[in-house]
Amino acid sequence: MTAAALCAAAATAEAKPRRVVILDFDGPRSLADSGRTAVVSLLGEQYDIVTKKKWEDARSRASKGSFGPQTWSKASKLSGVDALVEGWVQDEGRHKVLNIVVREASTGREFDTLTFKFGKSGLSSDTLGLVRVGLEDVLDYIEPGIDPSPSRLPEIEPKRALQSKKKAVEIDEEEEEIERPVKKTKRAPVDEDEDEIEKPEKAERDEETVATAVDEDERDQNDLVKLFGNKADEWPLPNKPTHVPKATPRFQIGAGAYYASRSLVVDSEDPQDFLGVGTKGLSLSASVYPFPLKKMDGALSGVGFSVNLYKAPASTTTVQGDDFVADYKIDSGGFDAAVHYRQPLGDIVHIDGHAGYAQEYFNLEQDIELDVPDVGYKYF
């Protein structure tokens, strides 16, 4: 029973993927590179990180004689890769979003998308812990390749190769010192008959020089030697992300409600003054500045055009006659159109000069005699 349980536990442990490729992350360059570096460091302790170039070479070879899903399976066998990790970083202003996708190398099937939010200070230790747990949970669903192709691309593990070669050289030197035979020679007796032992001088051996493997893609951070070195200066993410320029806006649309009060003051005694006829309405405005002074990171500026429409659909006025009091509906509205030249003085203040044409009207729908006449204006 105990032996069976131990065998089952060992089989479960070996079922985890052994070799993982972490592709380049998308998004703002500094954020994407730092996010990918964080993932590489987290997975490098438990998995063999295979270089991106090796996976791409295997995909290229697999696509020559296969199409569709078969290329994934063939590339997985050639490179010995079990899983792929992709990702992208979104800059949403006050916070950033790290998205990670895990795929099965043999099928290309996407298992899950992990999303993590963080602030300008970068990934905290708590967030990194969540990233580690999330990746391990997803990778547990991916089974490693059982029979890798004998013609698959060779893996280069510089640090492990150097360590194993160094140990082998030390062992060989010890064995040679122990098993090296001692040469005995006899000389003619001088005073007494005795054998003299002549030890041959040790030949100075040339020091062995060990060549280190150099990754051709120096920009790629997949080199296993770098996984065990110091963390990058931007770890875990840059405190001041690079500014991403944005195109200057060229359009502006506005809508809202308004309240206006119309008064009539006459110099003579007749007719009498009429004060405070209120109207409530809606307005819609639009403007376009097709040639801004700055192409990027600017504001509405330069030569522009605008249109403004306003209408009071449900306003009334109370009329008091000799023997009645009644409410009458008011028909009021208008429009204006103008050509502008706008010069910004900052993010909020600007100077705007314009020339335009406008019309407005104020009519009482009932044909009765009132002290406030119907009017209409046209002006530049």
| Residue range 218-227, pLDDT digits in tens | 545 555 444 4
H or E segment to which residue 140 belongs: none
With the C-alpha atoms ordered 243, 244, 250, 252, is the resulting torsion angle positive or negative? negative
Mean pLDDT is highest, among 15-24, 105-114, 349-358, for 349-358
Residues 75, 110, single domain; the answer is: yes
Position 200 in a domain: no
Tell whether the model's pLDDT for residue 108 goes beyond 70: yes
Tell whether the model's pLDDT for residue 10 goes beyond 50: no
Position 196 in a domain: no
Position 1 in a domain: no
Calpha distance 312→330 (Å, rounded): 8
Calpha distance 359→363 (Å, rounded): 13
Tell whether the model's pLDDT for residue 185 goes beyond 50: no
Q: Which residues contact 124 (CB under 8 A, 6 or more apart)?
A: 118
| Percentage of residues of the chain with pLDDT beyond 90 | 12
Q: How confident is the model over 354-373, as a mean pLDDT? A: 77
Residues 40, 163, single domain; the answer is: yes
Confidence of residue 296 (pLDDT cuts 50, 70, 90): confident
CATH number for the domain harbouring residue 121? 3.40.50.10070
Q: Which domain holds residue 89?
A: 8-188+205-244
Q: Which amino acid makes up residue 284?
A: L
CA distances for 127 relative to 21, 40, 139, angstroms: 22, 15, 18
H or E segment to which residue 121 belongs: none
CB 143 within 8 A of CB 129: no
pLDDT of residue 193: 46
Confidence of residue 309 (pLDDT cuts 50, 70, 90): very high
Between 285-294, 304-313, 315-324, the lowest mean confidence (pLDDT) is in 315-324
Position 195 in a domain: no
Q: What is the pLDDT of residues 225-242, one digit of tens each?
A: 444 445 444 445 545 556
Query: Which one of 224, 244, 264 terminates a domain?
Result: 244
The count of domains in the chain is 2
Residue 23 token pair: 């592709």
Residues 153, 15, single domain; the answer is: yes
Residues 70, 111, single domain; the answer is: yes
Q: How confident is the model over 196-211, as a mean pLDDT? A: 50
Q: How confident is the model over 69-85, as a mean pLDDT? A: 83
pLDDT of residue 210: 52
Tell whether the model's pLDDT for residue 328 goes beyond 70: yes
Position 197 in a domain: no
Residues 155, 45, single domain; the answer is: yes
Calpha distance 80→68 (Å, rounded): 19
More confident residue, 89 or 94: 89
Position 88 in a domain: yes
Q: How confident is the model over 49-62, as a mean pLDDT? A: 85
Position 78 in a domain: yes
Tell whether the model's pLDDT for residue 358 goes beyond 90: yes
Query: Which one of 217, 244, 271 terminates a domain?
Result: 244
pLDDT of residue 125: 83
Between 87-101, 132-146, 181-195, the lowest mean confidence (pLDDT) is in 181-195
Confidence of residue 131 (pLDDT cuts 50, 70, 90): confident
H or E segment to which residue 38 belongs: helix 29-43
Q: How confident is the model over 304-308, as a mean pLDDT? A: 95
Calpha distance 95→121 (Å, rounded): 9
Confidence of residue 342 (pLDDT cuts 50, 70, 90): very high
Tell whether the model's pLDDT for residue 372 goes beyond 50: yes
Residue 306 token pair: 């605008």
Q: How confident is the model over 15-39, as a mean pLDDT? A: 82
Residues 177, 287, single domain; the answer is: no
Tell whether the model's pLDDT for residue 303 goes beyond 90: yes
Q: What is the pLDDT of residues 243-286, one digit of tens each?
A: 678 888 898 999 999 888 877 777 776 666 666 677 888 999 99
Residues 236, 269, single domain; the answer is: no
Residues 219, 291, single domain; the answer is: no
Residues 229, 258, single domain; the answer is: no
Q: How confident is the model over 34-60, as a mean pLDDT? A: 85
Residue 124 token pair: 């905290």
Name residue 83's beta-bridge partners: 20, 104
| Percentage of residues of the chain with pLDDT beyond 70 | 63
Position 325 in a domain: yes
Confidence of residue 134 (pLDDT cuts 50, 70, 90): confident
Q: Taking all residues of the chain, what is their mean pLDDT, rounded to a whole number?
A: 72
Q: Model's pTM, two decimal places?
A: 0.36
Residues 73, 35, single domain; the answer is: yes
Residues 236, 362, single domain; the answer is: no
Calpha distance 15→319 (Å, rounded): 90
Q: How confident is the model over 13-33, as a mean pLDDT? A: 77
Residues 28, 132, single domain; the answer is: yes
pLDDT of residue 352: 93
Q: Is residue 95 helix, strand or coil? A: coil
